[in-house]
Amino acid sequence: MKIKCLEKVSRKSLYIAVSVLLIVVTLLVAAVVILLILATRNSSGSAGGAHEAAKDQIIPVKQSWSDPLRPRDCAKTEYLQPQPPLLIISLSGLTKSLVSESFPTLLEVDNFGVSTKAVLLCFPSYNVTNKLAIATGLFPQAQYFDPDNAGAAFNGSDFRAKQPIWLAFKGQTNGITALHSWPLHPFENADHPDYYIPRNSSVSFEEQLNMALNWLKMDSTVRPGLIMVSCDEIQEAFRTNADESMMRELLSKLDRSLSSFFTQLYDEALLDCVNIAIVSDEGIYNGTTRINLQHSDNLRSYDPGTVTVISTGGSDTTNLTSSLSCRKDDAIRVFQPSTMPTRWHYGDTDGDIIILARRGMEKCRSCKRKKESVFSGYDYLDESKQTVFYAQGPSFKSGAVLPPFQNVEYMNLWLDLLNMHYVPNNGSVGFMNEALTKPIKRERSRRFGIRECPFTHEERAINCGGCTALQQVRVANWMNSCTQPNRPIVMLSSASPLLCYQKICEKLIIRGTSGDESRALVELFHSNNTLARSQTQCLFVSSRYEFQCPSLSVPEGQELHSLSANPKKVLARIATVHVPWNALFVKDVLKPLNDYTLAISRELGRVISITGTAFDRNFDGLADEDKTGSPTHLYRVLITCTSGWSADGFACRNPWSTRVIAFIFPHMDGDINCLPSRELLLQYTARLRDVELITGMDIDLPGVPASHALHLKINVVTQLW
């Protein structure tokens, strides 16, 4: 018993001893660690103290100008009064493809500023004409000067009505202007900018931007409110045949200069106080093939290049045109002012013949001079010629992307940014509103909806030729039983009180009265009504609107044809929509146009078609006051939906899915260039706005939002549906 007690005491003592030993070891280890830490701190000395002090004062990393998270408020609010300065930078020769390959700075601007899918040039796509279009908003035919004649003067009587933005800004606001390397031609004799530095090829883009920065940093009493800079380095590199590596280096240098400029503006707290727009006035095609026109010895004047305007001096223009046209290689296309595409807005030129070289072609006679390495001036439908637009600043939205547009639209943007009154131009008021935070609301000219023609409640078919009594009864029954839309398919308006419409089934006929011989037909095609149904030659009018048949005299060499894309439909036989056309025009133009319309209607399922006549005898693209006699043009507008149609089938279920393609054809004696039908149709495409101008009518689509409707009106078609 005693032994057991001793064993318990010994075991307990052992446990206690081990526990004490573990505690002692732990304390010793802790002491060693503490000593090591103290030793480390002592050896660090004052350096450790400095490190701790630095931790208490963390220096923030400076943000980049392109940081999407940085604040974008103008710190120097005095720059915002009366409006922020506007800086316009033109990089001649810069195209969409070059930006995606070599201009990351512009892509950064795109992230927080405004851009567009494409900017299309004016015809001809020369540097000078398009720089003027950017500065004035005028098509070349309204600029009234010869781009190849540096001494040509602008029509002095047009100065008040047609001014570049720098003259208009000074005239309206007495604002200060500065131009660097931007050509004054043809305004040399007008008031010069307050600061002007003429073009000098030895001055780099970086130096130009440095000068712009100096102007922006000036005191408000002498600071320019409008600065315009033009850089031609890309253009000159193309023209001197720079190789690929040289071009890459140049573009990289220009990009660095632009990025540095933005950085300096940011460092000066000016980047968010200035509206900056970067544009391009020319896209250049590199590499050409020569076309020797030796057989054209009877030309009175001839200039090499891509677009040549020829005065024949009394020679037989028709024979001369025929001798130049219908080349198998389609290397050149030949036009007279009366046959030029309306979309060019170049038809009232003084020349008798216009020769256009196709992409990559150069015209010459005898071809003795040195071959050019690059050329401009081709048709702007070529996607390689499309240029760019980037903008940022306090007046611009962030992240807005505009649809493609022509460069004449810029002028209205400049007017809004500079808070100016309207200056006449060829752009469309309101298009640039989507780019601006606070666009100026401008009044547009008022037009009134076209009224319905006087009518009775009788619906008989009046025989205008070729109708039997039975056919008249059948047509009358058809008109009395067909479905009438409960709302207009399209809304048409005009400043002229001489137009009215007739509503017959799904068709809408617009006709002039009291000496106005305009005609138009609105019809709906779907997959079930594109097939021919009637072989009869019966012509008639409805007694609801007409008491007698129209005069249908057909001059020699012409044929009477319906405006309908399906002329064999019964209602296409309404005499009111029959118009005499040249026989070759019917063969080369009207028939291919009708075939295309019906094919597209079958493919897309449903298409609204508007076809009509226009009168433009001076080929300026504007409707004549005298709308009598043989029409000078035929137009057609096709409207469809990329999504489904509404329940009544007269509009798109989603209005934003509405698509439009338009054509304007001169009433010519066939196709002198012998083009395949699709090439011919593409050549004579037009903007919906061009159709409105040449007819004097506004065409609106019910339910389509105003902004999208404006896009549809100014959209330039670059390929057929």
Q: Could you read off the pLDDT of 338-349 as tens digits, one per residue? A: 999 999 998 777
Model confidence at 1, in pLDDT bands (50, 70, 90)?
Answer: very low
Angle between helices 104-112 and 244-267 (to 10 degrees): 40
| Whether residues 184 and 333 fall in one domain | no
pLDDT reported for residue 298: 53
The residues facing 479 across adjacent strands are: none
Residue with the bigger pLDDT between 184 and 52: it is 184
pLDDT reported for residue 154: 41
- Of these ranges, 154-158, 165-169, 352-356, the one predicted with the greatest mean pLDDT is 165-169
| Whether residues 615 and 516 fall in one domain | yes
593 CB-near residues (< 8 Å, 6+ apart): 565, 636, 663, 665, 681
pLDDT at 630 over 90: yes
Task: Tell me the pairing of strands 658-666 and 633-641.
Answer: antiparallel
Distance CA 297, CA 685 (A): 33
305 part of a folded domain = yes
Residue count of the chain: 721
At 535, which amino acid appears?
Q
Q: Could you read off the pLDDT of 202-221 as tens digits, one per residue? A: 999 999 999 999 999 999 99
529 part of a folded domain = yes
- Mean pLDDT taken over the chain: 85
- H helix runs in 546-672, sequence order: 583-585, 591-604
The residues facing 309 across adjacent strands are: 354
48 part of a folded domain = no
Buried b (16+ CB within 10 A) or exposed e, 465-500: eebeeebbebbbeebeeeeeeeebbbebbbebebbb
| Whether residues 623 and 549 fall in one domain | yes
pLDDT at 364 over 70: no
Model confidence at 399, in pLDDT bands (50, 70, 90)?
Answer: very high
| Whether residues 361 and 399 fall in one domain | no
Q: Could you read off the pLDDT of 21-59 as tens digits, one per residue? A: 666 556 665 665 565 555 555 544 444 444 444 444 444
Query: Helix, strand, or coil here: 516?
Result: coil
Give the dihedral of Cα atoms 168, 171, 174, 178; nearest 10 deg: 40
pLDDT at 155 over 90: no
Buried b (16+ CB within 10 A) or exposed e, 600-619: bbeebbbbbbbbbbbbbeeb
At 76, which amino acid appears?
K
Residue 408, burial from CB neighbour count under 10 angstroms (0-12, 13-18, 19+): buried
Question: Looking at residue 554, which CATH number applies to its domain?
Answer: 3.40.570.10
Distance CA 386, CA 26 (A): 80
pLDDT at 422 over 70: yes
Give the dihedral of Cα atoms 576, 582, 584, 585; nearest 10 deg: -60
| Whether residues 237 and 300 fall in one domain | no
Write the DSSP assignment of 202-239 as a string of letters.
Answer: TS-HHHHHHHHHHHHTS-TTT--SEEEEEE-HHHHHHH
Distance CA 466, CA 455 (A): 25
Model confidence at 370, in pLDDT bands (50, 70, 90)?
Answer: low
Reading the block at residue 91, the tokens are 């990089």
| Whether residues 169 and 199 fall in one domain | yes
Distance CA 585, CA 566 (A): 17
Residue with the bigger pLDDT between 294 and 177: it is 177
How far does CA 116 lie from the centroid of its chain?
A: 9
Q: Give the side-chain half-sphere CA count within 13 A for 153.
A: 8
- Give the lowest-confidence range in 364-368, 386-390, 608-612, 639-643: 364-368
Overall average pLDDT of the 448-453 stretch? 91
Region label for 561, one of left (φ > 0), alpha (ψ between -120 and 50) or beta (otherwise): beta
pLDDT at 270 over 80: yes
| Whether residues 543 and 691 fall in one domain | yes
pLDDT reported for residue 300: 52
Residue with the bigger pLDDT between 528 and 409: it is 409
Residue where a domain stops, chosen among 384, 414, 435: 435
Using only C-alpha atoms, the chain has a radius of gyration, in whole angstroms, of 36
Q: Could you read off the pLDDT of 683-699 as tens digits, one per residue? A: 999 999 999 999 999 99
Q: Phi/psi at 157 (nearest 5 deg)?
A: -70, -15
Region label for 457, one of left (φ > 0), alpha (ψ between -120 and 50) or beta (otherwise): alpha
The count of domains in the chain is: 3
- Of these ranges, 43-52, 309-318, 525-534, the one predicted with the greatest mean pLDDT is 309-318
Distance CA 78, CA 187 (A): 32
102 CB-near residues (< 8 Å, 6+ apart): 248, 251, 252, 255
pLDDT at 201 over 60: yes
pLDDT at 376 over 80: no
Percent of the chain predicted with pLDDT > 90: 58
pLDDT reported for residue 286: 59
265 CB-near residues (< 8 Å, 6+ apart): 65, 213, 216, 271, 274
| Whether residues 404 and 365 fall in one domain | no
- Give the lowest-confidence range in 84-98, 351-365, 491-505, 707-721: 351-365
Residue with the bigger pLDDT between 398 and 3: it is 398
| Whether residues 112 and 237 fall in one domain | yes
pLDDT reported for residue 649: 84
| Whether residues 258 and 321 fall in one domain | no
Question: Looking at residue 368, which CATH number applies to its domain?
Answer: 3.30.1360.180
Per the listing, tokens 């037989």 go with: 316
pLDDT reported for residue 304: 56
Region label for 609, one of left (φ > 0), alpha (ψ between -120 and 50) or beta (otherwise): beta
How far does CA 248 lie from the centroid of its chain?
A: 28
456 part of a folded domain = yes
Per the listing, tokens 């540097």 go with: 127
Q: Phi/psi at 125 (nearest 5 deg)?
A: -80, 55
The parent domain of residue 344 ranges over 288-372
156 CB-near residues (< 8 Å, 6+ apart): 189
Reading the block at residue 59, the tokens are 């220096």
Distance CA 217, CA 228 (A): 16
pLDDT at 378 over 60: yes
441 part of a folded domain = no
170 CB-near residues (< 8 Å, 6+ apart): 176, 177, 191, 193, 194
Per the listing, tokens 């024979």 go with: 319
Handedness of CA 400, 402, 407, 411 (dihedral sign): negative
Spatial contact of 450 and 501, defined as CB atoms under 8 Å apart: yes
| Whether residues 420 and 326 fall in one domain | no
Overall average pLDDT of the 614-618 stretch? 96
Cα angle for residues 338, 144, 383 (degrees, 5° grid): 70
Model confidence at 264, in pLDDT bands (50, 70, 90)?
Answer: very high
Q: Phi/psi at 375 (nearest 5 deg)?
A: -145, 150
pLDDT reported for residue 54: 43
Question: Looking at residue 87, which CATH number applies to its domain?
Answer: 3.40.720.10
Distance CA 554, CA 573 (A): 16
- Give the lowest-confidence range in 181-190, 204-213, 305-314, 455-464: 305-314
pLDDT at 178 over 70: yes
| Whether residues 219 and 91 fall in one domain | yes
Model confidence at 62, in pLDDT bands (50, 70, 90)?
Answer: low
68 part of a folded domain = no
Overall average pLDDT of the 418-429 stretch? 95
660 part of a folded domain = yes
590 CB-near residues (< 8 Å, 6+ apart): 561, 581, 634
Residue 574, burial from CB neighbour count under 10 angstroms (0-12, 13-18, 19+): buried
Buried b (16+ CB within 10 A) or exposed e, 698-717: bbbbeebeeeebbbbbbbbb
382 part of a folded domain = no
pLDDT reported for residue 360: 57
Query: Helix, strand, or coil here: 305?
Result: strand
- Give the lowest-confidence range in 235-244, 311-320, 385-394, 403-412: 311-320
